[in-house]
Amino acid sequence: MIAADDRVSARTRIVLAEVVRRESDSEHPRTEHPRTELAEQTRVGEALVRGLVRAQLSLALRLWLVVAVGLGGLPWLFAIAPSVSRITVLGVHLPWVLLGVLSFPFLVLVGWAYVRLAERNEQDFTDLIQRPER
């Protein structure tokens, strides 16, 4: 599902350069233009949206990978190295500590990081669209 968007990756920046050039030529008030591009689904607008979707998806996939390795690796680890399961922390076996207690703050932490980074992506996108005239 990522492959489908790959072909735009190289083009995005060139198109954005066009946006800036064209708009500095234009006599219209600045902020209206890119929004219209977005709404009217011109090639420029579409490329902008594709860029945002790609950024958000790759962010989500990267953080998902963190969880897949961090939690998903545990059954495999316990299976190939049973001695790990026998380690005790304050009298409690490690698998119980990891799964029963630490997994929950870990998930919240990843979620918190995602919300921050996703909002930053959106802020960057908004700034790009509403950039004041130079």
Partner 1 sequence: MGNGYVAPAIVAVTLITIGIGFYGLRLARTTSDFLVASRAVSPTWNAAAIGGEYLSAASFLGVAGLILKHGVDVLWYPVGFAAGYLALLLFVAAPLRRSGAFTLPDFCELRLGSRRLRTLATAFVIFIGWLYLVPQLQGAGLTMATLTGSPYPLGALLVAAVVTANVALGGMRAITFVQAFQYWLKLTALAVPAIFLVLQWQADARPAVTPPEGPTFRTATTVVVDHPATLTLPDGQLRQVRPGDELTFAAGQPVPDVAGAATDPADWLLPSTGADEQGLFTTYSLIIATFLGTMGLPHVLARFYTNPDGAAARRSTLVVLALVGAFYLLPTVYGALGRIYTPHLLLTGETDAVVLLLPGAALGAGTTGRLLAALVAAGAFAAFLSTSSGLLTSVAGVISTDVLGRGSVRGFRLATVLAGSVPTVFALNVSGLEVSQVVGLAFAVAASSFCPLLVLGIWWRGLTARGAAVGVLVGGGAAAGAVLVTVLGPPLTGWPAALLAQPAAWTVPLAFTVMVAVSTATRRRVPTDVGTTMLRLHAPEALR
> Which residues of the shown chain bind partner 1 in the complex (CB under 8 A)?
1, 4-5, 35, 38-39, 41, 45-46, 49-50, 52-53, 56-57, 60, 63-64, 67, 71-72, 75-76, 78-80, 82, 85-86, 93, 95-96, 99-101, 103-105, 107-108, 110-112, 114-115, 118-119, 122-123, 125-126, 129-130
Q: For partner 1, which is the closer residue by CB, 76 or 132?
A: 76
Longest CA pairwise span in the chain (Å)? 74
Task: Give the DSSP letter of residue 131.
Answer: P
Could you tell me which of 49, 39, 42 has the C-alpha nearest to residue 22?
42
Q: For partner 1, which is the closer residue by CB, 30 or 93?
A: 93
Could you tell me which of 52, 66, 72, 69 has the C-alpha nearest to residue 118?
52
Q: For partner 1, which is the closer residue by CB, 21 or 86?
A: 86
Minimum CB distance to partner 1, residue 103 (Å)? 5
Minimum CB distance to partner 1, residue 111 (Å)? 5
Minimum CB distance to partner 1, residue 114 (Å)? 6
Instruction: Give SS3 for 106.
Output: helix
Could you tell me which of 1, 39, 37 has the C-alpha nearest to residue 18?
37
Minimum CB distance to partner 1, residue 19 (Å)? 15
Instruction: Please return the burial class of 19, using the count of CB atoms within 10 Å of its CB with bins 0-12, 13-18 and 19+.
Output: buried
